[in-house]
Amino acid sequence: MHRQITVELGNRSYPIMIGRDLGAPIIEAIQTLKQANRPIALITDSEVDKCQSAFIETCFKDLPKWVLPAGESNKNLVNFADTLEYFAGLGLDRSTTLIAFGGGVVGDFAGYVAASYMRGIDFIQIPTTLLSMVDSSVGGKTGVNLKAGKNLVGAFHQPQAVFIDIERLDTLPSAQFSSGMAEIIKAGMLADVAFFEQLESFKRLDPSSPELADVIQRSCEIKAEVVAADEKESAASGGRALLNLGHTFGHAIEQCTNYTRYLHGEAIAIGMMMACKLSEDLGFISAADSKRVQALFETYGLPARLVEPLEKESLMTAMGRDKKKKQGSLKYVVLKQLGTAMTQPDIDSALIEAALEFGGAN
């Protein structure tokens, strides 16, 4: 049994199917493509290829497969070029559909390959981590990293469909599950206080929790609504940029630790606490609100502060290279109140430094 929501983008709208054991509808989608004589290829990573080998054998056994080395550092231009050469060597044409089977690294990477190969081919997202289920698989942001920063090269390229099979989480390490919960908590913080309160009311969720399908669905609905209103993050204020709550800080933390010290959700949790401090200092939310956020992070073992200090100067430099910077300045996402976020330009650098210090920078 599954449920379905739609990302409304006119003639580029697409379904998100959510449920347990979606092997049958995935195989059906592949058979439909084959019957239309459309080539299909698979991109996964070395970790997923090992942990999900039975599912891969069942659903994708006869498809050409490119296995990316696991890890954020491998989402780079060298591997991107090698993948394109592999597909060109197979003779894949513009009617090809690419399947991204993995976490956020695979989804971002495969999406950009799809956006670029033959000037754009179709792709399907089948996320295997909670983080990718509620975040990177929805919305069409694709990309790879440069040494200067995360996702600095990429494209907006929407998938044809997203299949969120909750059973794929059965092999997910606990820390990775918690990393995904950071993005779910973010959704409530920025857009739905009732959802945030619902998350507070639960005991610690895990892959077997009966509430998980509803939680994933609501998170995807929030993101889909934002994306439909501002697909390419072009709104003068608010819009899709609101989904970056905590990310300007969090991406800087990831960059300054070479993407090896923190999982994405862990870095973003610290970044969101910094954003809470900034929101407090701007006179919006209260210290009590920040403590509620921190308590929810702690439920999932997510850090509220840097485990080891980082230099403020290094973090500020990294933030200065953020891809969301426009006309030489950054707009930070802050909380007007729990459940309502907004973008705030021209923030005094002293307040940014105070937020960094609050998060453990020196």
pLDDT tens digits, 143-190: 999 988 889 999 999 999 999 999 999 999 999 999 999 999 999 999
Phi first, then psi: what are they for 3, rounded to 5°? Answer: -120, 160
Residue 264 appears among annotated catalytic residues: yes
Residue 183 appears among annotated catalytic residues: yes
Q: What is the pLDDT of residues 86-136, one digit of tens each?
A: 999 999 999 999 999 999 999 999 999 999 999 999 999 999 999 999 999
Helix (H), strand (E) at residue 238: none
Residue 233 appears among annotated catalytic residues: yes
Residue of 11, 57, 61, 119 marked catalytic: 119
Residue 119 appears among annotated catalytic residues: yes
The DSSP annotation for 90-134 comes to: HT--TT-EEEEEESHHHHHHHHHHHHHGGG--EEEEEE-SHHIII
Residue 2 appears among annotated catalytic residues: no
CA separation for the pair 170, 202 (Å, rounded): 20
Indicate the Cα dihedral angle 293, 297, 302, 307, nearest 10°: 30
pTM for the full predicted model: 0.94
Instruction: Report residue 54 as tokens.
Output: 């039975």
Average pLDDT of the chain to the nearest whole number: 95
Q: What is the pLDDT of residues 199-252, one digit of tens each?
A: 999 999 999 999 999 999 999 999 999 999 999 998 878 899 999 999 999 999
Residue 262: what residue type? Y
Residue of 74, 151, 157, 183 marked catalytic: 183
Residue 244 appears among annotated catalytic residues: yes
Residue of 233, 254, 266, 280 marked catalytic: 233
Residue of 251, 277, 323, 331 marked catalytic: 251
Residue of 240, 277, 323, 331 marked catalytic: 240
Instruction: Report residue 106 as tokens.
Output: 């695979």
Residue 157 appears among annotated catalytic residues: no
CA separation for the pair 173, 237 (Å, rounded): 37
CB 223 within 8 A of CB 135: yes
Residue 323 appears among annotated catalytic residues: no
